Amino acid sequence: MTTRFAPDQAVSDLTVADLDALITEIVRRVLREQSHAPGTNDSGDTLPVELLATFGVWDDERSTDAIVADIYASRTITEREVSL
């Protein structure tokens, strides 16, 4: 199933399901383009199926606040100087 989104549609207006469908569509397009690119390995035909199988939602018993707290707790702060 291919989902179409309006070019002027704000990301903030999309639901989680819409975002999941959009990301999956983008990944499918990229994989399709890469599989037709010169020099790609034909033996990796199962990679897109295996990769796409990892997409989707998951169940988590924790509250949203607990998940966000876990994300922040896993971040590290570095003292090294970074320049761009």
pLDDT in tens, 3-21: 566 767 787 888 888 888 8
Q: Which residue has the tokens 């607990």?
A: 66
Q: Which residue has the tokens 């983008």?
A: 26
* Chain segment 63-78, per-residue pLDDT in tens: 989 989 998 888 877 7
How far CA 31 is from CA of 16, 44, 81, in Å, comes to 22, 11, 37
Predicted TM-score (pTM) of this structure: 0.40
Q: Report yes or no: 20 and 56 within 8 Å, Cβ to Cβ.
A: yes
pLDDT reported for residue 46: 59
* Chain segment 27-62, per-residue pLDDT in tens: 888 888 877 655 555 554 555 677 777 777 777 889
Q: Which amino acid is at 9?
A: Q
pLDDT reported for residue 23: 86
pLDDT reported for residue 65: 92
Q: Residue 20: CB partners within 8 Å, gap ≥ 6?
A: 55, 56, 57
- DSSP character for 62? S
